Structure 1
Amino acid sequence: MILYFSGTGNSEYAAKRIGKAIDDEVVNLFERIQSSDFAKMYSQRPWVVVVPTYAWRIPRIVQKWLEQTPLFGNSEIYFVMTCGGSIGNAGKYLQKLCAKKKMTYRGCMGILMPENYIALFSTPAEEQARPILDQAKDVIDRTARFLQNGESFPKADISFGDKMNSGIVNDLFYPMFVHAKKFYATDGCVSCGKCVSVCPLKNVRLENGKPVWGKDCTHCMACISRCPKEAIEYGNHSKGLPRYTCPENP
């Protein structure tokens, strides 16, 4: 069974492409995470978790969900992480998670895809994103072949920088940067409520027709990227930048 979480669509696309290639069930974790649903799940086939990379590790909201959700049936689990640059030393922490869950870790595959973290980086227009997606397809398909053949993902070489990024940098990044203080709606907002519905933590609400952000934010960028009027900004950084969502998804 393939489980995925996706804010702007990269991991969704990877999960569905892998699912089609290996003819496996694909499950979106959005509603389970949003509703704090930790009910047990069952799969005869190995588990495949497809997620974006947040500060060189899996998103903490997915980590929490995995820690609290019993996964029965097959005890083998693979991880696929989409990223704009690198997954760092994420595998070290995934191995610890698997040991805690008494599951067999079969490796972590990083897939380079278009940058979507508009809070800190530049996001691509569709014509810039397409070549990156075309290259990603080959890696996704190679990932699917490992799964189809029952092989573990190959181990990547880990540098000192990777260890630092997934370790101390990740620990500092969340309290320093992962908050919703800089999000705001412009006069272009039409009160459609899209930002409310796409937030996995129910952190956005409408007050007098305008979105207001609370304290629970995971920086998935779903609200700012999926606003149909591009009426959400993140401080001054996002001004003038394209709103990226994976163009391969409907």
Structure 2
Amino acid sequence: MILYFSGTGNSEYVAKKIGKKIGDEVMDLFEKIRNDDFSSMHSERKWVIVVPTYAWRIPRIVQKWMESTSLTGSKDIYFVMTCGGSIGNAGKYLEKLCARKKMNYYGCIGITMPENYIALFSTPTKEKAMQIIEQAEGIIDHAASLIKNGERLPQSGLSFSDKINSGIVNAVFYPVFVHAKKFYTVNSCISCGKCVSVCPLNNIRLENGRPVWGDKCTHCMACICRCPKEAIEYGKHSKDLPRYVCPKSDIIYEKK
């Protein structure tokens, strides 16, 4: 079974493509995470977790869900991480997680996809995003082939910076940067509530027709990137930057 979490569609696209390649069920973890649903899940087929990379590791909200949820049936588990450039030393922490869950860690692979982290980086135009995704197709297919054949995903070489980024930097990044204090709306907001519905942590509510953010933000960028009027900004950094939602999801896969 393939389980995925996705803020702006990259991991959704990869998960569904792998699912199609290996003929396996694909399930979105959004509702389970949003509702703190830690009920046991069962699959006789190998588990495949597809998630974005947050500060060179899997998102903490996914980590929490996995730590709290019993995955029964198959003990074999793979991880596929979409990223803007590198997954660092994420595999080290995933292997430890699997050991605690008494599961067989079959490796982790990074898939470079278009950058969505508009809070700190520049997001690509649709044309550039399509080019990046096209370049990723071969790696996605290779990962799917390895998973289908029950082979381990390859471990790439690690640099000193990889170890630092997934360790010290990750530990500092969350408390210092991951908050919603810089989100705000501009006059083009139409009070549609899209930002409320796409937040995986129920962290946004409407007050007098405008979104108000709470203190549980995970920086998935779903609210700012999926706003139909581009009415949400993040400080000064997001101004004039294109909002990113995976442009191939709507082309290849029918949306829910």
TM range (shorter): over 0.9
TM-score normalised according to structure 2 size? 0.97
Residue in 2 that maps onto 1:162: 162
Alignment-derived partner of residue 80 in structure 1: 80
Query: How far did 1:243 drift?
Result: 0.2
CA distance in 2, matches of 1:231, 1:86: 30
3-state secondary structure, aligned to 1:179: coil
Distance 1:53 1:165 in 2: 12
Distance 2:245 2:77 in 1: 28
- Equivalent position of 1:191 in the other structure: 191
For 2:220 and 2:86, the matched residues in 1 are separated by 17
In the TM superposition, 1:58-97 aligns within 5 A as: 58-97=58-97
Contact persistence 2:5–2:12 (CA under 8 A): yes
Paired residue for 2:4? 4
| 1:17-32 → structure 2 map (5 Å cutoff) | 17-32=17-32
Structure 2 CA distance for aligned equivalents of residues 96 and 188 of structure 1: 46
Structure 2 gaps of 5+ residues are: 251-256
* 1:174-208: CA deviation from partner (whole Å, max 9, x where unpaired): 00000000000100000000000000000000000
CA root-mean-square deviation: 0.4
Partner residue in 2 for 1:176:
176
Deviation at 1:155, TM superposition (A): 1.1
Q: How many correspondences in the alignment?
A: 250
Alpha-carbon deviation of 1:3? 0.2
Q: CA deviation at 1:227?
A: 0.1
TM-score by length of 1: 1.00
Deviation of the 1:249 alpha carbon: 1.0
Contact persistence 2:21–2:141 (CA under 8 A) = yes
Spell out structure 1 runs of 4+ moving beyond 6 A. none
Name the amino acid aligned to 1:109.
I
Identical counterparts, % of pairs:
71
> Which SS does the other structure have where 2:27 is aligned?
strand
- Give the Cα separation in 2 of the matches to 1:137 and 1:174: 31
